[in-house]
Amino acid sequence: MGNPESIDEQLRHAIENRQLIEVSYNGKRRVVEPHDYGVHKGVEKLLVYQLRSLPPASDRQATGWRLLDVSKIQSCGVLNESFRGSRGQAHRNHLKWEILYARVS
C-alpha cells in the first residue's frame, strides 16, 4: 500500500478502472470496491462495498455497503484485482451527492 499518489488520485483511478482498494479506516484494514466518490452533506465521502476486513472480523458482518469519510482514511492502496462494476441502482437512490467526483460504471 505504499503508493506515492494521493488518496484522491488513487480513488479516482480505482473507480475509473474498477479496481479493488485496501484502506486503513478506523484502525482496521479493509478490502473494498469503491463505487461513488464525492461530497455528501458537506463532507468528502466514499461509498464502498466492503468485501472483507483484514484480519477477518469475527465480531460482526465484514461485508456490505459502507460510507467512509475520506479524511479518516489513514492509508489507501489500489490492488491488482478488479471487480465487475456497479452492483445495481438501489444504493444510488439513498444518497444525494452535492458533488460527485467519480462513479463506477
Strands 43-54 and 73-82: unpaired
Q: Does residue 2 contact residue 78 with C-beta atoms inside 8 Å?
A: no
Query: Buried (b) or exposed (e) across 54-64, using 16+ Cβ within 10 A?
Result: eeeeeeeebee
Cell of 40: 455528501
pLDDT band per the 50, 70, 90 thresholds, residue 2: very low
**pTM of the predicted model as reported, rounded to 2 decimal places:** 0.85
pLDDT, tens digit (0-9, with 9 covering 90-100), for 40-78:
999 999 999 999 888 766 556 678 899 999 999 999 999
Q: Which three cell numbers stand for residue 46?
A: 466514499
Q: Residue 1: its pLDDT value, please?
A: 46
How far apart, in whole angstroms, are the C-alpha atoms of residue 64 and residue 82? Answer: 17
